Amino acid sequence: MFKKIFIIIKREFLSRVKKKSFIVMTILGPVLFAALITLPVILARWSDSEYSVAIVDNTGLFYDRFEDGNDVVFTNLPVSLDDALELLQREKFNAILHIPEAAFESPSTLRLFTTKAVNINAKIHVENVLKHEFESLKLGARGIDSEVLRAIETNISIQAVRILSDGMEQTDYPEVSMALGIISGLLIYLFIFLFGSQVLRGVLEEKTSRIIEVIISSVKPFQLMMGKIVGIALVGLAQFLIWVFLTLLLVFVVRTAVPDIFQFTPDEQVHITSAQMLDTGRLEEQMDTIQHHDTAAGQVLESLSAINWYVMIFFFIFFFLGGYFLYAALFAAIGSAVDNEADTQQFMLPVTIPLIFAIIFGQMVMVNPAGPVAFWLSIIPLTSPVIMMIRIPFGVPFFDLYLSAFLLIAGFLATTWLAAKIYRTGILMYGKKVSYKDLWKWIRY
């Protein structure tokens, strides 16, 4: 029995990995993933160039208020607006900021002239400076010291710290966990559909071409179904492992080639103990360390390093295989019950609704990954592959993981038994439009 299943697995695996589409996607996938991680940082760095803004201030109040920053350079231009616009046309500056005499009473008269699309960072920077200066002037006109109000302005940025079971403290990054969770859940969703549909099409093609009649003379229907499901699963697993390896390799190469854009402050230099929290000098030193050494890309990599990748990758593979086996068995049953692809739609919808349901409720799970909705959806076999992968980056109790894994295995065995009942009868049925009543009869045989 197992020898015949192995032969079918080998045939399904080799026939697919030799296809040009498999080779292209296996190579292209890691390149796209690595580019998604590194390219925005590199392009942002290359695009960072000074944006020159000339200031024509008819009020004479704001010439010395603008300081260079955010790659924006300001130049005071004591000429008329027409002369300034002529310099703009000759590309002496990227933009002209005009502050008319009526600007204080009517801020809507402010203008930022450009010959090309405006730099949004420069526009925001100018607006922030003018906002603060206008507020200061208005406060001064009413006899209120603006410095008092500036002193009480406070920017709040709370660092999340998780207390582990052994009492150790670990910096938590809920934003990164949220992004990683939804990406993992979507990948599981796409992989199940991608490789599950290959099972359905493979069964349907063999049935419509009548090749199945020859194959069934040598192997049992259950052996054929299991061989096809496992063979395609190995194709998906091999492709995923190659993607992981090549993506990590490409990210490492890019990080080694341009290390200065991936700098980050080690966690031990950022985190402080409870006893040190009241030491203002220590807090200022910490912030200075972060500002001088961190980059945006470095902070992302540092936050990713806090994720337990061994658990992530292991359970991603487990829930991918478990979810795939569960749904692939149902897809194989659907393929065996119909004569053409158009007839599959009436059976596909009930099967795929739980997966779609899991994606829809994924946002609710991310908001409260430890809540009752997240718990129940992560242990029900039809939704657990997607929902559990959304929860894992946030940290999941091992009881929840083991219970979900056990029920997923039980669900796979149940759906395989159910699908085998339909498959062994439907695979040789031709010329009859199958209904749910027929499926129920085949299950009861």
Answer yes or no: are the C-beta atoms of 277 and 178 closer than 8 Å: no
Residue 76 lies in a domain: yes
Question: Is the confidence at residue 182, as pLDDT, over 50?
Answer: yes
Considering its fold, how many domains does the chain have in total?
A: 2
How far is the C-alpha of 389 from the C-alpha of 314, rounded, in Å?
Answer: 11
How far is the C-alpha of 121 from the C-alpha of 261, rounded, in Å?
Answer: 20
Q: Please identify which residue in the block is written with the tokens 């526009």.
A: 123
Q: Residue 409: enclosing H or E segment and its boundaries?
A: helix 398-426
Residue 236 lies in a domain: yes
Helix (H, G, I), strand (E, B) or coil at 218: coil
Residue 433 lies in a domain: yes
How far is the C-alpha of 317 from the C-alpha of 371, rounded, in Å?
Answer: 25
Helix pair 174-208, 309-337: axis angle to 10 deg: 30
- Shared-domain flag, residues 190 and 309: yes
pLDDT band at 406 (very low <50, low <70, confident <90, very high): very high
CA distances from 274 to 162, 264, 328 (A): 13, 23, 52
Residue 434 lies in a domain: yes
pLDDT single digits (tens) 18-46: 777 777 777 777 777 666 666 655 555 55
- Shared-domain flag, residues 292 and 201: yes
Helix (H, G, I), strand (E, B) or coil at 418: helix
- Shared-domain flag, residues 357 and 232: yes
- Shared-domain flag, residues 186 and 237: yes
- Shared-domain flag, residues 55 and 193: no
- Shared-domain flag, residues 355 and 328: yes
pLDDT band at 408 (very low <50, low <70, confident <90, very high): very high
Residue 161 lies in a domain: no
How does the average pLDDT of the chain come out, rounded?
A: 76
- Shared-domain flag, residues 191 and 96: no
pLDDT single digits (tens) 78-132: 888 888 888 888 878 888 888 888 877 777 788 888 887 777 878 888 888 888 8
The residues facing 57 across adjacent strands are: 99
The residues facing 74 across adjacent strands are: 53
Alpha carbon of residue 195 to chain centroid: 21
What is the pairing mode between strands 111-114 and 95-99?
A: antiparallel
Residue 210 lies in a domain: yes
Answer yes or no: are the C-beta atoms of 58 and 99 closer than 8 Å: yes
- Shared-domain flag, residues 360 and 340: yes
- Shared-domain flag, residues 242 and 115: no
Give the predicted TM-score (pTM) of the model. 0.64
* Structure tokens belonging to residue 83: 């002369």
Identity of the amino acid at 52: S
Q: Please identify which residue in the block is written with the tokens 């009241």.
A: 278
Helix (H, G, I), strand (E, B) or coil at 68: coil
Q: The domain that contains 55 carries what CATH number?
A: 3.40.190.10
- Shared-domain flag, residues 18 and 91: no
How buried is residue 270: exposed, middle or buried, by Cβ count under 10 Å (0-12/13-18/19+)?
middle
pLDDT band at 292 (very low <50, low <70, confident <90, very high): very low
Residue 43 lies in a domain: no
* Stronger pLDDT, 315 or 342, i.e. the higher one: 315
Question: Is the confidence at residue 15, as pLDDT, over 90?
Answer: no
pLDDT reported for residue 268: 46
Domain endpoint, select from 148, 164, 183: 148
Q: What is the DSSP string of 232-286?
A: HHHHHHHHHHHHHHHHHHHHHHHHHHSGGGG----HHHH---GGGTT-HHHHHHH
- Shared-domain flag, residues 418 and 277: yes
- Shared-domain flag, residues 90 and 66: yes
Alpha carbon of residue 208 to chain centroid: 39
How far is the C-alpha of 331 from the C-alpha of 329, rounded, in Å?
Answer: 5
Q: Is the dihedral of CA 35, 36, 42, 44 positive or negative?
A: positive
Question: In angstroms, how far is the first alpha carbon of the chain from the final one?
Answer: 23
Residue 159 lies in a domain: no
pLDDT single digits (tens) 47-85: 556 788 888 888 877 777 787 776 788 888 888 888 888
Q: Please identify which residue in the block is written with the tokens 């192995």.
A: 6
Range of the domain at 139: 50-148
